Protein backbone atom coordinates (compact mmCIF):
# COMPACT_ATOMS: atom_id res chain seq x y z
CA UNK A 1 0.00 0.00 0.00
CA UNK A 2 1.47 3.32 -1.03
CA UNK A 3 -1.42 5.69 -0.24
CA UNK A 4 -1.96 6.51 3.43
CA UNK A 5 -4.22 8.91 5.32
CA UNK A 6 -3.52 10.30 8.79
CA UNK A 7 -6.51 11.52 10.83
CA UNK A 8 -5.28 14.08 13.35
CA UNK A 9 -2.42 16.44 12.49
CA UNK A 10 -1.32 17.47 15.96
CA UNK A 11 1.84 16.69 17.93
CA UNK A 12 2.03 13.07 16.76
CA UNK A 13 -0.08 13.05 13.61
CA UNK A 14 1.81 15.78 11.76
CA UNK A 15 5.21 14.08 12.29
CA UNK A 16 3.75 10.72 11.21
CA UNK A 17 2.30 12.25 8.03
CA UNK A 18 5.63 13.95 7.28
CA UNK A 19 7.67 10.80 7.89
CA UNK A 20 5.39 8.68 5.70
CA UNK A 21 5.54 11.22 2.87
CA UNK A 22 9.32 11.53 3.14
CA UNK A 23 9.57 7.75 2.89
CA UNK A 24 7.71 7.73 -0.44
CA UNK A 25 4.06 7.25 0.56
CA UNK A 26 1.35 9.46 -0.88
CA UNK A 27 -0.21 10.95 2.25
CA UNK A 28 -3.48 12.77 2.83
CA UNK A 29 -3.78 14.32 6.29
CA UNK A 30 -7.10 15.29 7.84
CA UNK A 31 -7.93 17.43 10.85
CA UNK A 32 -10.90 19.44 12.11
CA UNK A 33 -8.51 22.31 12.87
CA UNK A 34 -8.28 24.39 9.66
CA UNK A 35 -5.06 26.02 10.89
CA UNK A 36 -3.31 22.62 10.90
CA UNK A 37 -4.67 21.81 7.45
CA UNK A 38 -3.60 25.19 6.11
CA UNK A 39 -0.11 24.80 7.55
CA UNK A 40 0.38 21.36 5.99
CA UNK A 41 -0.95 22.66 2.68
CA UNK A 42 1.56 25.51 2.79
CA UNK A 43 4.40 23.17 3.72
CA UNK A 44 4.75 24.57 7.24
CA UNK A 45 4.98 22.60 10.46
CA UNK A 46 1.67 22.99 12.37
CA UNK A 47 3.37 22.09 15.67
CA UNK A 48 6.85 22.52 17.12
CA UNK A 49 8.89 19.34 16.92
CA UNK A 50 12.57 18.83 16.06
CA UNK A 51 13.18 17.82 12.41
CA UNK A 52 9.48 18.09 11.51
CA UNK A 53 10.06 20.88 8.99
CA UNK A 54 12.91 18.90 7.43
CA UNK A 55 10.63 15.92 6.80
CA UNK A 56 7.78 18.10 5.58
CA UNK A 57 10.16 19.60 3.03
CA UNK A 58 11.35 16.15 1.96
CA UNK A 59 7.82 14.85 1.41
CA UNK A 60 5.96 17.97 0.32
CA UNK A 61 5.27 16.70 -3.21
CA UNK A 62 3.44 13.69 -1.76
CA UNK A 63 1.64 15.33 1.18
CA UNK A 64 -1.71 17.13 1.20
CA UNK A 65 -4.31 17.92 3.85
CA UNK A 66 -8.06 18.38 4.17
CA UNK A 67 -10.72 18.96 6.80
CA UNK A 68 -12.81 16.15 5.23
CA UNK A 69 -11.97 12.81 6.84
CA UNK A 70 -14.17 10.85 4.43
CA UNK A 71 -12.29 12.28 1.45
CA UNK A 72 -8.90 11.44 2.98
CA UNK A 73 -9.95 7.83 3.53
CA UNK A 74 -11.54 7.52 0.09
CA UNK A 75 -8.29 8.57 -1.59
CA UNK A 76 -6.05 6.16 0.32
CA UNK A 77 -5.61 2.48 1.14
CA UNK A 78 -4.66 2.70 4.84
CA UNK A 79 -5.73 5.14 7.55
CA UNK A 80 -3.95 6.01 10.81
CA UNK A 81 -6.09 7.58 13.54
CA UNK A 82 -4.23 9.82 16.00
CA UNK A 83 -6.88 11.82 17.81
CA UNK A 84 -7.15 12.69 21.53
CA UNK A 85 -8.52 10.19 24.04
CA UNK A 86 -8.79 12.46 27.12
CA UNK A 87 -8.67 11.04 30.60
CA UNK A 88 -12.02 10.74 32.37
CA UNK A 89 -12.67 11.51 36.01
CA UNK A 90 -12.28 7.83 36.92
CA UNK A 91 -8.90 7.54 35.16
CA UNK A 92 -10.10 5.76 32.02
CA UNK A 93 -9.85 7.16 28.49
CA UNK A 94 -12.75 8.80 26.68
CA UNK A 95 -13.40 7.38 23.21
CA UNK A 96 -15.55 10.24 21.90
CA UNK A 97 -13.11 11.58 19.29
CA UNK A 98 -12.17 8.09 18.12
CA UNK A 99 -15.82 7.11 17.66
CA UNK A 100 -16.48 10.33 15.72
CA UNK A 101 -13.92 9.21 13.15
CA UNK A 102 -15.77 5.90 12.70
CA UNK A 103 -18.62 7.67 10.87
CA UNK A 104 -16.67 9.21 7.96
CA UNK A 105 -14.20 6.32 7.82
CA UNK A 106 -17.05 3.81 7.71
CA UNK A 107 -18.82 5.75 4.93
CA UNK A 108 -15.64 5.83 2.86
CA UNK A 109 -15.06 2.09 3.35
CA UNK A 110 -18.68 1.41 2.34
CA UNK A 111 -18.05 3.04 -1.03
CA UNK A 112 -14.81 1.16 -1.68
CA UNK A 113 -14.49 -2.02 -3.67
CA UNK A 114 -11.00 -2.87 -2.46
CA UNK A 115 -9.39 -3.66 0.89
CA UNK A 116 -8.73 -0.86 3.39
CA UNK A 117 -6.66 -0.97 6.57
CA UNK A 118 -7.66 1.12 9.59
CA UNK A 119 -4.98 1.68 12.23
CA UNK A 120 -5.99 3.05 15.64
CA UNK A 121 -2.94 4.72 17.18
CA UNK A 122 -4.68 6.69 19.92
CA UNK A 123 -4.35 5.08 23.37
CA UNK A 124 -7.54 3.34 24.48
CA UNK A 125 -8.62 1.21 27.43
CA UNK A 126 -8.24 -2.56 27.05
CA UNK A 127 -11.33 -3.94 25.35
CA UNK A 128 -12.37 -0.73 23.58
CA UNK A 129 -10.99 -1.52 20.12
CA UNK A 130 -12.95 -4.74 19.77
CA UNK A 131 -16.05 -3.88 21.78
CA UNK A 132 -16.65 -0.29 20.69
CA UNK A 133 -14.56 0.86 17.71
CA UNK A 134 -14.74 -2.24 15.51
CA UNK A 135 -18.54 -2.53 15.82
CA UNK A 136 -18.89 1.18 14.97
CA UNK A 137 -16.87 0.71 11.77
CA UNK A 138 -18.86 -2.38 10.80
CA UNK A 139 -22.19 -0.69 11.48
CA UNK A 140 -21.46 2.36 9.34
CA UNK A 141 -19.63 0.56 6.54
CA UNK A 142 -21.91 -2.45 6.37
CA UNK A 143 -18.78 -4.57 5.95
CA UNK A 144 -16.97 -7.13 8.09
CA UNK A 145 -13.73 -6.48 9.89
CA UNK A 146 -11.11 -9.10 9.04
CA UNK A 147 -12.81 -9.85 5.73
CA UNK A 148 -13.64 -6.66 3.85
CA UNK A 149 -11.33 -4.36 5.79
CA UNK A 150 -8.57 -4.74 8.35
CA UNK A 151 -8.18 -3.13 11.76
CA UNK A 152 -5.06 -2.77 13.90
CA UNK A 153 -4.42 -1.19 17.28
CA UNK A 154 -0.94 0.30 17.00
CA UNK A 155 -0.03 2.73 19.81
CA UNK A 156 3.19 4.71 19.61
CA UNK A 157 5.96 4.64 22.21
CA UNK A 158 7.46 8.03 21.50
CA UNK A 159 8.43 11.12 23.47
CA UNK A 160 7.61 14.68 22.45
CA UNK A 161 10.81 16.38 21.43
CA UNK A 162 12.04 13.06 19.97
CA UNK A 163 9.03 12.09 17.86
CA UNK A 164 10.78 11.87 14.49
CA UNK A 165 13.73 9.94 15.91
CA UNK A 166 11.47 7.53 17.77
CA UNK A 167 9.34 6.91 14.67
CA UNK A 168 12.39 6.14 12.57
CA UNK A 169 14.21 4.03 15.18
CA UNK A 170 11.64 2.43 17.52
CA UNK A 171 12.61 -0.22 20.05
CA UNK A 172 9.70 -2.28 18.78
CA UNK A 173 6.37 -1.99 16.98
CA UNK A 174 3.29 -3.14 18.88
CA UNK A 175 0.44 -4.40 16.68
CA UNK A 176 -2.94 -5.62 17.82
CA UNK A 177 -4.51 -7.13 14.70
CA UNK A 178 -7.98 -8.19 13.62
CA UNK A 179 -6.40 -10.83 11.40
CA UNK A 180 -3.04 -11.78 9.89
CA UNK A 181 -3.57 -9.84 6.66
CA UNK A 182 -4.13 -6.59 8.56
CA UNK A 183 -0.96 -7.13 10.60
CA UNK A 184 1.05 -8.02 7.50
CA UNK A 185 -0.02 -4.84 5.73
CA UNK A 186 0.86 -2.65 8.71
CA UNK A 187 4.20 -4.39 9.23
CA UNK A 188 5.08 -3.79 5.58
CA UNK A 189 4.40 -0.07 6.02
CA UNK A 190 6.75 0.14 9.00
CA UNK A 191 9.44 -1.85 7.19
CA UNK A 192 9.50 0.92 4.59
CA UNK A 193 9.55 3.69 7.19
CA UNK A 194 12.03 2.59 9.86
CA UNK A 195 15.76 3.19 9.50
CA UNK A 196 16.58 -0.12 11.18
CA UNK A 197 14.58 -3.33 11.20
CA UNK A 198 12.42 -3.11 14.32
CA UNK A 199 11.12 -5.98 16.39
CA UNK A 200 7.41 -6.59 15.83
CA UNK A 201 5.12 -7.73 18.64
CA UNK A 202 1.86 -8.89 17.03
CA UNK A 203 -1.12 -10.05 19.05
CA UNK A 204 -4.85 -9.60 19.54
CA UNK A 205 -6.41 -6.25 20.43
CA UNK A 206 -6.78 -6.65 24.17
CA UNK A 207 -3.21 -7.85 24.68
CA UNK A 208 -1.88 -4.88 22.70
CA UNK A 209 -4.10 -2.44 24.60
CA UNK A 210 -2.92 -3.75 27.95
CA UNK A 211 0.70 -3.88 26.77
CA UNK A 212 0.57 -0.17 25.90
CA UNK A 213 -0.43 1.08 29.33
CA UNK A 214 1.73 -1.59 30.99
CA UNK A 215 4.88 -0.21 29.37
CA UNK A 216 4.26 3.31 30.63
CA UNK A 217 3.15 2.13 34.06
CA UNK A 218 6.36 0.12 34.41
CA UNK A 219 8.56 3.00 33.21
CA UNK A 220 6.96 5.40 35.69
CA UNK A 221 7.62 2.86 38.45
CA UNK A 222 11.33 3.02 37.57
CA UNK A 223 11.29 6.84 37.66
CA UNK A 224 9.57 6.89 41.03
CA UNK A 225 12.01 4.32 42.39
CA UNK A 226 14.97 6.47 41.30
CA UNK A 227 13.38 9.55 42.86
CA UNK A 228 12.68 7.69 46.10
CA UNK A 229 16.34 6.63 46.10
CA UNK A 230 17.37 10.26 45.57
CA UNK A 231 15.22 11.30 48.51
CA UNK A 232 17.00 8.77 50.72
CA UNK A 233 20.39 9.98 49.47
CA UNK A 234 19.44 13.54 50.45
CA UNK A 235 19.65 12.44 54.09
CA UNK A 236 22.67 10.12 53.94
CA UNK A 237 26.11 11.76 54.20
CA UNK A 238 28.33 10.85 51.27
CA UNK A 239 25.50 9.33 49.22
CA UNK A 240 25.21 10.08 45.48
CA UNK A 241 22.17 8.83 43.60
CA UNK A 242 23.97 8.95 40.23
CA UNK A 243 26.71 6.68 41.50
CA UNK A 244 24.15 4.23 42.84
CA UNK A 245 21.88 4.15 39.77
CA UNK A 246 24.94 3.94 37.54
CA UNK A 247 26.00 0.82 39.39
CA UNK A 248 22.64 -0.96 39.60
CA UNK A 249 21.96 -0.06 35.97
CA UNK A 250 24.85 -2.32 34.97
CA UNK A 251 22.79 -5.31 36.06
CA UNK A 252 21.21 -6.73 32.89
CA UNK A 253 18.00 -7.34 34.82
CA UNK A 254 17.68 -3.61 35.47
CA UNK A 255 19.38 -1.44 32.82
CA UNK A 256 19.94 2.32 32.93
CA UNK A 257 16.99 3.84 31.07
CA UNK A 258 14.65 6.04 33.13
CA UNK A 259 16.70 5.44 36.26
CA UNK A 260 17.62 9.04 37.08
CA UNK A 261 16.74 10.57 40.42
CA UNK A 262 15.77 14.11 39.49
CA UNK A 263 12.23 15.48 39.08
CA UNK A 264 8.76 13.92 39.20
CA UNK A 265 7.48 12.63 35.87
CA UNK A 266 4.82 14.54 33.94
CA UNK A 267 3.57 14.98 30.39
CA UNK A 268 0.57 13.78 28.42
CA UNK A 269 1.22 10.01 28.69
CA UNK A 270 3.09 8.77 31.77
CA UNK A 271 0.81 10.04 34.55
CA UNK A 272 -2.45 9.13 32.86
CA UNK A 273 -1.37 5.71 31.59
CA UNK A 274 -0.23 4.74 35.07
CA UNK A 275 -3.55 5.90 36.57
CA UNK A 276 -5.43 4.07 33.81
CA UNK A 277 -3.53 0.86 34.64
CA UNK A 278 -4.73 1.07 38.24
CA UNK A 279 -8.24 1.96 37.10
CA UNK A 280 -8.38 -1.09 34.83
CA UNK A 281 -7.39 -3.32 37.74
CA UNK A 282 -10.26 -1.87 39.79
CA UNK A 283 -12.71 -2.47 36.94
CA UNK A 284 -11.58 -6.07 36.81
CA UNK A 285 -12.14 -6.53 40.52
CA UNK A 286 -8.47 -6.71 41.43
CA UNK A 287 -5.79 -4.24 42.52
CA UNK A 288 -2.65 -2.61 41.12
CA UNK A 289 -0.89 -1.43 44.30
CA UNK A 290 2.44 -0.81 42.56
CA UNK A 291 0.82 1.59 40.08
CA UNK A 292 -0.99 3.35 42.91
CA UNK A 293 2.24 3.63 44.91
CA UNK A 294 4.06 4.98 41.85
CA UNK A 295 1.51 7.76 41.51
CA UNK A 296 1.68 8.54 45.23
CA UNK A 297 5.50 8.59 45.27
CA UNK A 298 5.52 10.84 42.22
CA UNK A 299 3.25 13.40 43.86
CA UNK A 300 4.97 13.16 47.24
CA UNK A 301 8.35 13.65 45.63
CA UNK A 302 7.15 16.84 43.98
CA UNK A 303 6.08 18.12 47.41
CA UNK A 304 9.48 17.11 48.79
CA UNK A 305 11.26 19.05 46.05
CA UNK A 306 9.07 22.06 46.72
CA UNK A 307 9.98 22.08 50.40
CA UNK A 308 13.69 21.71 49.65
CA UNK A 309 13.53 24.59 47.20
CA UNK A 310 11.59 26.80 49.61
CA UNK A 311 14.32 26.20 52.18
CA UNK A 312 16.78 27.78 49.71
CA UNK A 313 14.77 30.95 49.16
CA UNK A 314 14.88 33.77 51.71
CA UNK A 315 11.58 35.03 53.10
CA UNK A 316 9.87 37.22 50.47
CA UNK A 317 12.77 36.36 48.15
CA UNK A 318 12.87 35.90 44.40
CA UNK A 319 13.21 32.56 42.63
CA UNK A 320 14.18 31.95 39.00
CA UNK A 321 12.68 28.86 37.39
CA UNK A 322 14.61 27.57 34.38
CA UNK A 323 12.40 25.19 32.44
CA UNK A 324 8.61 25.02 32.31
CA UNK A 325 7.82 22.23 29.84
CA UNK A 326 7.48 18.69 31.16
CA UNK A 327 10.72 17.76 29.35
CA UNK A 328 13.29 19.39 27.02
CA UNK A 329 12.79 19.92 23.26
CA UNK A 330 9.04 20.50 23.53
CA UNK A 331 6.75 23.32 24.58
CA UNK A 332 4.16 21.01 26.17
CA UNK A 333 3.38 21.76 29.82
CA UNK A 334 0.75 19.08 30.50
CA UNK A 335 1.29 17.72 34.05
CA UNK A 336 4.48 19.78 34.17
CA UNK A 337 6.31 19.51 37.52
CA UNK A 338 7.71 22.98 36.87
CA UNK A 339 4.29 24.63 36.78
CA UNK A 340 3.27 22.80 39.94
CA UNK A 341 6.43 23.99 41.71
CA UNK A 342 5.82 27.54 40.50
CA UNK A 343 2.39 27.42 42.14
CA UNK A 344 3.95 26.12 45.38
CA UNK A 345 6.49 28.94 45.47
CA UNK A 346 3.88 31.60 44.71
CA UNK A 347 1.62 30.28 47.49
CA UNK A 348 4.53 30.63 49.91
CA UNK A 349 4.97 34.31 49.03
CA UNK A 350 8.02 33.88 46.80
CA UNK A 351 8.29 36.11 43.73
CA UNK A 352 8.80 33.89 40.68
CA UNK A 353 10.47 34.70 37.38
CA UNK A 354 10.49 31.99 34.74
CA UNK A 355 12.01 31.11 31.39
CA UNK A 356 11.75 28.21 28.94
CA UNK A 357 12.96 28.11 25.30
CA UNK A 358 9.62 26.80 23.97
CA UNK A 359 7.00 26.63 26.71
CA UNK A 360 6.48 30.31 27.49
CA UNK A 361 3.15 30.82 25.64
CA UNK A 362 1.52 27.69 27.09
CA UNK A 363 2.88 28.42 30.58
CA UNK A 364 1.70 32.02 30.50
CA UNK A 365 -1.77 30.91 29.46
CA UNK A 366 -1.91 28.70 32.58
CA UNK A 367 -0.22 30.91 35.20
CA UNK A 368 -1.08 34.37 33.86
CA UNK A 369 0.71 37.37 35.29
CA UNK A 370 1.33 35.84 38.70
CA UNK A 371 4.79 35.07 37.31
CA UNK A 372 7.34 37.43 35.75
CA UNK A 373 8.18 36.09 32.28
CA UNK A 374 11.80 36.48 31.26
CA UNK A 375 13.00 36.77 27.68
CA UNK A 376 16.17 34.72 28.23
CA UNK A 377 18.02 32.59 30.72
CA UNK A 378 20.29 35.48 31.64
CA UNK A 379 17.37 37.85 32.25
CA UNK A 380 15.59 35.23 34.34
CA UNK A 381 18.45 34.66 36.80
CA UNK A 382 19.84 38.18 37.05
CA UNK A 383 17.84 39.25 40.13
CA UNK A 384 17.11 35.91 41.77
CA UNK A 385 18.00 34.84 45.30
CA UNK A 386 17.58 31.21 44.21
CA UNK A 387 17.87 29.63 40.77
CA UNK A 388 16.16 26.31 40.09
CA UNK A 389 17.06 24.29 36.99
CA UNK A 390 14.00 22.12 36.53
CA UNK A 391 14.24 20.97 32.89
CA UNK A 392 17.52 19.76 31.35
CA UNK A 393 17.60 22.04 28.32
CA UNK A 394 21.08 22.09 26.78
CA UNK A 395 21.33 25.89 26.98
CA UNK A 396 21.02 25.81 30.76
CA UNK A 397 24.43 24.16 30.94
CA UNK A 398 25.82 27.59 30.04
CA UNK A 399 24.75 29.05 33.38
CA UNK A 400 27.71 30.61 35.25
CA UNK A 401 28.02 32.54 38.53
CA UNK A 402 28.76 35.68 36.49
CA UNK A 403 25.14 35.68 35.26
CA UNK A 404 23.76 35.64 38.80
CA UNK A 405 23.01 38.49 41.17
CA UNK A 406 26.22 39.78 42.81
CA UNK A 407 28.23 37.30 40.77
CA UNK A 408 26.50 34.48 42.59
CA UNK A 409 27.42 35.60 46.09
CA UNK A 410 24.78 34.22 48.44
CA UNK A 411 22.64 32.83 45.60
CA UNK A 412 21.33 29.27 45.97
CA UNK A 413 21.46 27.18 42.80
CA UNK A 414 19.23 24.10 42.85
CA UNK A 415 20.33 21.85 39.97
CA UNK A 416 17.64 19.19 39.69
CA UNK A 417 19.30 17.26 36.85
CA UNK A 418 22.91 17.83 37.96
CA UNK A 419 23.84 19.59 34.73
CA UNK A 420 26.38 22.03 36.17
CA UNK A 421 29.87 21.78 37.59
CA UNK A 422 29.29 22.42 41.32
CA UNK A 423 32.61 24.05 42.25
CA UNK A 424 32.13 27.54 40.71
CA UNK A 425 28.74 27.92 42.37
CA UNK A 426 29.89 26.54 45.71
CA UNK A 427 32.71 29.08 45.74
CA UNK A 428 30.23 31.96 45.59
CA UNK A 429 26.98 30.73 47.07
CA UNK A 430 25.18 27.43 47.56
CA UNK A 431 24.89 24.55 45.12
CA UNK A 432 22.21 21.97 45.89
CA UNK A 433 20.61 19.12 43.99
CA UNK A 434 18.43 16.06 44.59
CA UNK A 435 20.23 12.88 45.44
CA UNK A 436 23.43 14.18 47.04
CA UNK A 437 23.87 13.53 50.72
CA UNK A 438 24.75 16.38 53.11
CA UNK A 439 28.45 17.16 53.52
Q: Is residue 229 part of a domain?
A: no
Q: At what angle do helices 270-283 and 289-310 cross, to 10 degrees?
A: 140
Residue 365's pLDDT band (cuts 50, 70, 90): very high
Return the sign of the alpha-carbon dihedral for residues 347, 352, 357, 361: positive
Q: What's the average model confidence in pLDDT over 3-12?
A: 98
Q: Is residue 403 part of a domain?
A: yes
Q: What is the mean pLDDT of the chain?
A: 96
Q: What's the average model confidence in pLDDT over 309-317?
A: 90
Q: Is residue 182 part of a domain?
A: yes
**Which CATH number does the domain housing residue 328 bear?**
3.40.50.720
Spot the catalytic one: 145, 269, 312, 433.
269
Instruction: Give the count of domains, the chain.
Output: 2
Domain that holds residue 395: 304-432
Residue that is last in its domain, among 203, 235, 267: 203
pLDDT at 439 over 90: no
The pLDDT, as a whole number, for residue 62 is 98
Statement to judge: residues 194 and 337 lie in one domain: no
pLDDT at 280 over 90: yes
Q: Is residue 380 part of a domain?
A: yes
Residue 396's pLDDT band (cuts 50, 70, 90): very high
Q: Is residue 87 part of a domain?
A: yes
Q: Contacts for 199-204 with beta carbons within 8 Å, 24 or more apart?
A: 199/171, 199/172, 199/173, 200/172, 200/173, 200/175, 201/172, 201/173, 201/174, 201/175, 202/175, 202/176, 202/177, 203/175, 203/176, 203/177, 204/176, 204/177
pLDDT at 338 over 80: yes
Residue 5's pLDDT band (cuts 50, 70, 90): very high
pTM score: 0.94
Q: Classify the phi-psi angles of 438: left when phi > 0, otherwise alpha if psi is within -120 to 50, otherwise beta.
A: beta
The pLDDT, as a whole number, for residue 63 is 98
Residue that is last in its domain, among 147, 176, 203: 203
Residue that is last in its domain, among 168, 203, 238: 203
Q: pLDDT > 70: what percent of the chain?
A: 100
Q: Is residue 231 part of a domain?
A: no
pLDDT at 75 over 80: yes
416 included as an active-site residue: no
Statement to judge: residues 178 and 318 lie in one domain: no
| Contact assessment for residue 261 and residue 229, using Cβ atoms and an 8 Å cutoff | yes
The pLDDT, as a whole number, for residue 316 is 87
pLDDT at 244 over 90: yes
Q: What's the average model confidence in pLDDT over 169-181?
A: 97
pLDDT at 193 over 80: yes
pLDDT at 1 over 80: no
pLDDT at 238 over 80: yes
Q: Is residue 242 part of a domain?
A: no
Instruction: Write the pLDDT tens digit of every residue in 420-434.
Output: 999 999 998 899 999
pLDDT at 218 over 90: yes
The pLDDT, as a whole number, for residue 339 is 98
Residue 116's pLDDT band (cuts 50, 70, 90): very high
Q: Is residue 28 part of a domain?
A: yes
Amino acid sequence: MSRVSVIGLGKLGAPLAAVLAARGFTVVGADVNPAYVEAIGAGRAPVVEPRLQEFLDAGKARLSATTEVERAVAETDATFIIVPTPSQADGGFALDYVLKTAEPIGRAIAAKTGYHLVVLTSTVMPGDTDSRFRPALERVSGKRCGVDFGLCYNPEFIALGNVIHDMLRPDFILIGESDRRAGDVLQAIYERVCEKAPAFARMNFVNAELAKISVNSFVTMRISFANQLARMCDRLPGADVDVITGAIGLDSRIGKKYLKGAVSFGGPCFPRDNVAFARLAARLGTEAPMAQATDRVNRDYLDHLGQRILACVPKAGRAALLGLAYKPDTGVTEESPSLALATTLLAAGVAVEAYDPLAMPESRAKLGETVAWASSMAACVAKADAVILLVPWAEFRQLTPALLKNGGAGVAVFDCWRQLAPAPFQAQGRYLCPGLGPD
